[in-house]
Structure formats: C-alpha cells, structure tokens
Structure 1
Amino acid sequence: MPAPSIYLDHNATTPLDPRVLEAMRPYFLSAGNAESRHSAGRRARRAWDEAREATAGVLGAFADEVVFTSGGTEANNLAVLGLARGDDGPGRIVSSPIEHPAVAEPIAFLESRGFAVDRPDVDAEGLADADLMASYFDDRTRLAALMLANNETGALQPVARLAELAATRGVPVHTDAVQAVGRIPVDFHALGVATLAASAHKFHGPVGVGLLLIRRGVKLAPRLFGGGQQQGRRPGTAPVPLVVGLATALELWRAESETRIATWARLSHRLEAGLIAALGPDRVVPNGPLDRARRLPQTVNLGFVGIEGEALMIQLDLAGVAVSLGSACASGSTQPSPTLVAMRVPPDRLRSSVRFSLGASTTESDVDEAVLRTVAAVERLIG
C-alpha cells in the first residue's frame, strides 16, 4: 500500500478551502450578470460589491481601489505595462533581479521596445537594497518594481522603504504580493505603493481570480477594452463566484492568521532543523535570510550540496512528497533559478536547491514524515 501523500508545494498553489467552495456554490448554480438590472443581476451585483468591500478591508485599501483580474499574472502585467506606458516614448524602469516571471517578462518586453532597465544587485540572502534601487531613479524613471516576498526563498523585501524613497521623486512603485497575501499581514496604504498584485489560489481560494490594487489618483493605461466594467481598467463580465471565493478566503485568512503564522513558523523550523540535524550542516544549507523574521513563515529553501535538485525532487515525488525547485511558472526551464543566481549561490548548491512550502492544512506529522522521506531520498542518491 503506497504511503500517504504529503503536499509541501503551497507556494505553487494551495488546495481550495471547503468553506470557500460552499460560499461560492450558490453563485455557480444561479444565473445573474452583475451589470443586469433585474433581480438576478442585482443579487449578483450585491455579492460582487460585498466581495470588493471585504477584500479592501482585509488588505487595507479602499473598495474603489480593488480591480479583480484572472490571477496574479494578469494583475502584474496590467500594473507594469499600465504604469510604464507614456506618451513621450520609452522611459526607464528600476526592478529587482529576483522578480517573478509575471513581472520580469513584461519588463523585458518593454526593454525590447526601447525602455532602459536597471536591475541593482540583491545581497547573498536575496534581499534588495531599497536605497540602492532609489539611487538609479532619474527624470525618465516611469516605474520601480519590487516584490513583497520572494516566491523561492520567501525573503521579505523592503517595499515600504522603496515606496517612501520613490515618493520624493514621483516614481510609482509596483509590488508583486502574490506570495505575501495570505501568508503575512499586508496593508496596501501602509506600504505606500501605487499598485499591488495578488492571486486567490495562493491562499486557499479558487484558481482563475486575482486582484490588482490601484491607489487613488494613480494613472494606469488600460490593456483591455470592452464593456467598461471596473472603471474601464479591467473590462469583462464579472466572475461573481470566483470573486466571492477570493474574498471568503481572505476573510478566513484574517480570522485565522495568528494561528496559521505561529504554526507555520514552528513547523518550518522543525522541517529545516530536522533535515540539517539528520544530514549535517555541510550537506543541507538554507538559502535566503538567516533571520527567520525576514522571510515568509511557511517557506523553506534548502540546498542539498552535491545532489541534483531535479533528481531529489523526482525521488521525493516517488516517495509521495510534493516539493518544487522554485517558481512553478518556470519549472520546465533547464536554466538555474534566476533568484539563486542573483544571490550568487555557489555552484555546489545552485542546482541542488529544493523549496518546501507549507499551507493551512500542513500538520506536524506531515513535516516529520517529510523529513524521514527526504533523508531516505538523499541517502539513496548519495549511495
């Protein structure tokens, strides 16, 4: 009989919370376009408006600053392309070199169209230097981009500091908060950024819906054109069931956040310490901030020195443990992780690193069993 599976790849996607499914169910089973004026349409509109109010309340925004999207990729693209676009030709962008492809690729697209892009170095722990990034600002700078939490190492970035410095130069800051929302408290207004992206499937909500927060007064050129919904910033028929699911997942996160964060901090430490104790600190080396307060509470990225990460991931999959090598959106690439390259991780662990990420349903027994199976897998690979 196969061993029970253990899912430790929540940074890629999380399972839908059954309570979220129940909240969505009535809207899947009934008709009603939120733009229609009959009773069914009004019912859909109420659900939409309530979801937007709830979302804004959890994330420290105004309801009219919430734009719902199909996910984090669309939200990031809308922000980058919308903020950078100008009537006076290409400008300059300042970005960290550790951005998710959903930010890095639209920036690269703009670069191919004549934009100048500066990517100041991060340190060996994968932390950006906000003051260094701000030193690249000039009169042509249209946008600064810095993720709130890195998807591979969990490193928490100095976004508020960058936004503070950018405000003095009139430079809008976009933050990709896809990995942060639902893992740490996020307050849009306190961060001071112009735009913020998130995605429901990262915090036990449905796949296919995300959001972009756009601060009042920020001009954002639209990328889609149609019926004019959502102030014309993201037109299209309102996906009411999905938005209800997103808002419900956020409210559950807010209600349970203290417990989740404390549990994740304890379990991630147990996982990391257990593997280091069993295999030795020369064999298992953490990637990312050594100060655990400077990284997501449920993300552990470890280099298994002398072992190919791809081979270890396959062995773990065969053993019933789901992990990843980094960004799921780049999992088919044969190139080493851009984040680890930017951190100047030594070659002996550049291709040996594996990411473990916990979710709301992860238990202590899951972690203990994952340690045992990982140790066994490593020992098989080293012979």
Structure 2
Amino acid sequence: MRLPDGRIYLDCNATTPLDPVVGQVLSRTQASLFGNPSSPYTEGRAAREALEAARGDVASLVGCRPDEVVFTSSGTEANHLALRSAARSRPGRRRVILSAVEHPSVLGQWDALEALGAVVEEVPVDGRGVLDLESLEGSMGADVACVSVMQAHNETGVLQPLDSVGALCRRWGALFHTDAVQAAGKVPLRWAQALPDYLVVAAHKFYGPKGIAVLAVRSGAPVEPMLAGGGQERGRRASTEAVPLAAAMGTACRLASEGLARWPAVERLRDSLEERLRSAHGARVFGEDAPRLPNTSLVSLPGVDASALVRALDEKGVAVATGSACHSGGSGLPRVLARMGIPERCAGTVLRISLGRGTTAGDSAAFAAALRAALGVGS
C-alpha cells in the first residue's frame, strides 16, 4: 500500500496505519468523552454508552456476545491473561500444550506457566507449517488444562486447523486458546466454528490504534485477573477503561467486517508477486501449499543478504521486513522455519512481504522494480 508520503508499505503484518475514519473517531472521543465510564452522572454515562457500543462492534467481528469481550492494552496482555487463567483454574489438570510456532507472547510464557505448576509441552508442525493433528491427538488426555494454537502465523501466514483443534479440546474437556491477532480483519474468525474458550485480537493489525486489544472469553471459561483493584470489565481486568481507544477499535472492527470482501483481490496480487519473485529471483515461498492469509509471503532469496536488502529497499522508498517485528533481530533462521525443517542455509535470506487492503498492482510493480534495482538486476 502507498502511504501519503509516497512510500510503499509492505509490512502490514507488523502494524497498519490508522484508518482516517478511525482517527477521526479517536480524536473526537478524546475531546468529548473524558468521563469515567464507571461514574453515574452524565459524563460517565456518555463514556459508558460509547464503551458498550464499541464492545458490540468488536463482538460482531469476533462472532461472540458483547459480554464476552474484555478490553486489554495489547494482544500480549490478552494472551497472558488467557493462558494464566487457564493454567491456574484447572485443579488436577497440569499440562498446557502449545503449538511449536506460536507468537512470542505465548511461547514466552513457558517459564512463567511452569512456575505456576504447569507442565508445558510443544506440538510440532509439518513442512508446510501446519499443526500435526495426529501428534496433538496423541498428546491429549484428561490432565490437559489448555491447548493454544494460533489462527494464522504472523510470518508465514499459514492458517491452522482450528475447527479440528477445537473438537479435540471439547472431547477431552480442555480449554482452547487461539491467538487470532494476525487473522482478524483478513479472514473470518472461527469463534462459532472452532468454539475456542479464548480468542485474542489487536486493533493495530487492522487499521486501528495501538494500545487496545481484546480477549474474547466464552461464557463459563475461567478468568483470573492479573490486575486487581477494581471491578472494570465485569471484574476481569481492573483499570479505568480507555474509552477513546475502545471506540476507535470498535470503528476499526466495523470497517474490517465490511472490508473482508476486498481480500481475494489482494490474494491475487500476492500470488502474482510470488510468481514474479520465483521466476525473476529464484525465490522459495514458505507455506505455499498450505491455506494462508491472503496478504502474506515469507520467501527466501538464495544468496541474498536479506538485512542489507531491506536497508536498500528502504532507501528506495519501500518497507519490507526480514520477519516478525516481535522476534529478536539477527540473521538466524526464524523459529517457524526451523520448526518446519527448513535448512539453516536459508538463514539471512528471508523476507516477509505483507500487503495491505489498499495495496494495488502499481504498488506491486513498483516494489518489483525497486527490488531489481536493489539487487542490481536488469529490467
């Protein structure tokens, strides 16, 4: 997608620019809705009304009930709240199962979950990056407290078989958590089909503001607050709610729901770009044989220093990444690729290209031209 300054931004899985309509809502509510939504007088009631309207908009995108929506400050916080609630609340169930390719905000809880008494285990993925369902089925048992499997991977874009995971969890009575941060706004969420107990979305991934996210908690699923001191969010998260951010997120959710029909065109652009990268540069596309997000390409360009290429493209007005902004920097092989069995020789050659809902064929062509120039390849 092309930014107002003319730069081409192709790192939309890292974050997205604020939609102008969302920005207007944010500015307006910051100026007018300063009241505390827990206060009983006019200003408080106005803030509460806006907060609950936003809650309804988020619920519509997720597919849940408004009272199942818990506002948090980030996807990371929401993931922590879900997994720690699940681990603490299931006496006699000590095992927590994570897919091998979860986001760092999930995998990074490993030690903390063990400190709570959990036994944390990892389930592998296949060479496409898709969860090994047979391995998961073999790992299930009456002592499993929770299973965590993301809907879409933030680097490969690979979609996981959530419906099958949910069925296994229900069979064994285990809680089911899914990090849907990267999926929200690009593909339909699986709340009604996979029946997760916890589902996480973050506004800044679909043209909303940073600093606001949601944990959807299915009715009856346990929540043990990490923040104490107030009854906000129905006692599930203490802290005065950020009404302007919530209102902006609600607007972003409405726009995301309305814009789902635009993504097949983006997918066609993505597929065309991948074919161009294969034919012109010998690119290898990871996860290409699996269901994927419509906007995401994780590719290896043989013999290319990806970090140097990202800097060269930046100088030419194009923003791409070597991988997830949430993983530590460096030239090593991304964890997801290592778990997919990709050889170490690909380390340092990997680019992640993630298109936006406004990316055009012209933007794709401009990127291809900048790439040729950065690599010193003729037209």
The bucket for the TM-score relative to the shorter chain is over 0.9
TM superposition score normalised by structure 1:
0.93
Question: Is contact 1:8-1:356 (8 Å) kept?
Answer: yes
What is the aligned partner in structure 2 of residue 17 from structure 1?
A: 19
User: Which ranges in structure 2 are unaligned for 5 or more consecutive residues?
Assistant: none
What is the aligned partner in structure 1 of residue 209 from structure 2?
A: 206
Question: Is contact 1:264-1:298 (8 Å) kept?
Answer: yes
Distance 1:235 1:73 in 2: 17
What is the aligned partner in structure 2 of residue 78 from structure 1?
A: 81
Letter in 2 for 1:375: R
Deviations 1:230-279 (A, max 9, x none): 121111111111111111111111112102x1221121112211222222
Deviations 1:47-79 (A, max 9, x none): 111111121122110111000110111111111
What is the aligned partner in structure 1 of residue 276 from structure 2?
A: 274
Q: Percent identity?
A: 38
Whether 2:296 is the aligned partner of 1:299: answer yes
Question: Is contact 2:331-2:347 (8 Å) kept?
Answer: no
Whether 2:132 is the aligned partner of 1:135: answer no
Number of equivalenced pairs: 372
Question: Is contact 1:130-1:159 (8 Å) kept?
Answer: no
CA-based RMSD of the aligned residues comes to 1.7
Letter in 2 for 1:154: G
Aligned partner (choices 319, 322, 329) of residue 319 of structure 2 = 322
| 2:228 match: secondary structure | coil
What is the aligned partner in structure 2 of residue 94 from structure 1?
A: 97
Show the 5 A alignment for 1:338-377: 338-377=335-374
Deviation at 1:111, TM superposition (A): 3.1
| 1:264 match: secondary structure | helix
Range with bigger deviation, 125-134 or 28-37: 125-134
Evaluate the alpha carbon distance shift between residue 269 and residue 87 of structure 1 in structure 2; reply closer, same or farther with a 3 A threshold.
Answer: closer
Show the 5 A alignment for 1:18-57: 18-30=20-32, 31-57=34-60
Question: Is contact 2:298-2:351 (8 Å) kept?
Answer: yes
Letter in 1 for 2:102: E
Question: Is contact 1:306-1:348 (8 Å) kept?
Answer: no
Evaluate the alpha carbon distance shift between residue 194 and residue 109 of structure 1 in structure 2; reply closer, same or farther with a 3 A threshold.
Answer: same
Letter in 1 for 2:359: T
Question: Is contact 2:92-2:143 (8 Å) kept?
Answer: no
Evaluate the alpha carbon distance shift between residue 174 and residue 264 of structure 1 in structure 2; reply closer, same or farther with a 3 A threshold.
Answer: same
TM superposition score normalised by structure 2:
0.94
User: Which ranges in structure 1 are unaligned for 5 or more consecutive residues?
Assistant: none
Question: Is contact 2:300-2:350 (8 Å) kept?
Answer: yes
Distance 1:337 1:211 in 2: 27
Question: Is contact 2:333-2:344 (8 Å) kept?
Answer: no
Range with bigger deviation, 346-355 or 62-71: 346-355
Distance 2:90 2:216 in 1: 23
Evaluate the alpha carbon distance shift between residue 313 and residue 190 of structure 1 in structure 2; reply closer, same or farther with a 3 A threshold.
Answer: same
Deviation at 1:317, TM superposition (A): 1.7
Aligned partner (choices 172, 176, 181) of residue 175 of structure 2 = 172
Whether 2:245 is the aligned partner of 1:242: answer yes
| 1:198 match: secondary structure | strand
